[in-house]
Amino acid sequence: MSHTKPRINGVRLGAYLFSYALALLMIAPLLWMLISAFKQPGSTVTVLSKLFNSPFSLDSFAKVLKPDGTAMMWRWTLNSVIVGVVQTAVTVVFSSWAAFAVSRIQFKGKTIIFAVILMGMMVPVESIVVPLFEMVTAMGWSNSYSALIWPGMMLPLAFLILKQFIDQLPGELLEAAKIDGAGMFRIWWKMIWPLSRSSMAAVSIFIFIQSWNNLLWPMLVAQDNSMMTLPVGIPTFQSIFATDLAVPMASNVLASLPALLVFLLFQRHIIKGISMTGIK
């Protein structure tokens, strides 16, 4: 019995080629950034022939990581890590508490609270920046971690994702815990927290990447060079080397590594946490 390989028709072949072309178009700027980062400072990276003919070097990375009074790459990275980790941890816990309360606790005004939280998803951040900045300034939080962290610790999307997951948990489990005498916090700690780890991991990735890439708010409240985060500090660093594109590209590569590493390590939790396939 002969077996013939399935032929790829013209439509499928065209779809494949179109998909590959789109993928190449999307990664081309990233490849250009990566190749330019490994060129010597002052190299011409805007001409394709000179980009590949010039020698590769780590001098641009050495120049970026060299501590001085203006380019504080290590300090900016530390600030971004502190802000991202604290915002992620606190937002996940607060969102989980709020989602558990709205989903499983009966109290007056629950529907109104749920609607108000969802309305927060429709309010542009730019529309509340000015009053929020005046509030932070009046509290004396300018140029501090408090100003960088606290205003960004509530994310309606995190609440919505966790609530949708908690809604699918069998009510019999919670009723059995109540019969055994468990309070609300113990139910959350012993049951909700372990069962929703996948959703929390997915939410944590979104929160961390959003915090890591946040530019507008840190740019307003972190005027001091030592309190800048990477998105704010890198443009300042690039202005110092305005005629040198290799050095700014190296700084962008280094700034992308932590967020990329977090995504690669926990990417399987994104689909697993959001798919909401139910409980076995």
pLDDT digits (tens, 9 = 90+) for 4-59: 555 567 778 888 889 999 988 888 888 888 888 888 887 777 777 777 777 888 88
CA distance 75 to 31: 27
> Which among 98, 116, 110 has a CA at the least distance from the CA of 163?
98
pLDDT digits (tens, 9 = 90+) for 88-102: 999 999 999 999 989
CA distance 14 to 54: 36
Phi and psi, residue 56, nearest 5°: -85, 150
pLDDT digits (tens, 9 = 90+) for 61-116: 888 887 665 568 888 889 999 999 999 999 999 999 999 989 888 888 888 988 88
CA distance 82 to 149: 9
CA distance 89 to 155: 12
pLDDT digits (tens, 9 = 90+) for 201-229: 888 888 888 899 898 899 999 888 889 99
Query: What is the pLDDT at residue 161?
Result: 86
Domain boundaries, the chain: 73-277
Query: What is the pLDDT at residue 202?
Result: 83
Tokens coding 226: 């030592």
| Percent of residues in the chain assigned helix, strand, coil, to nearest 5 | 75, 0, 25
CB 88 within 8 A of CB 130: no
Note the pTM of the prediction, 2 decimals.
0.80
DSSP character for 225? Answer: G
Mean pLDDT for the chain overall: 82
Stretch 117-121: mean pLDDT, rounded? 85
> Is 73-277 in CATH node 3.40.50.2020?
no
CA distance 20 to 1: 36
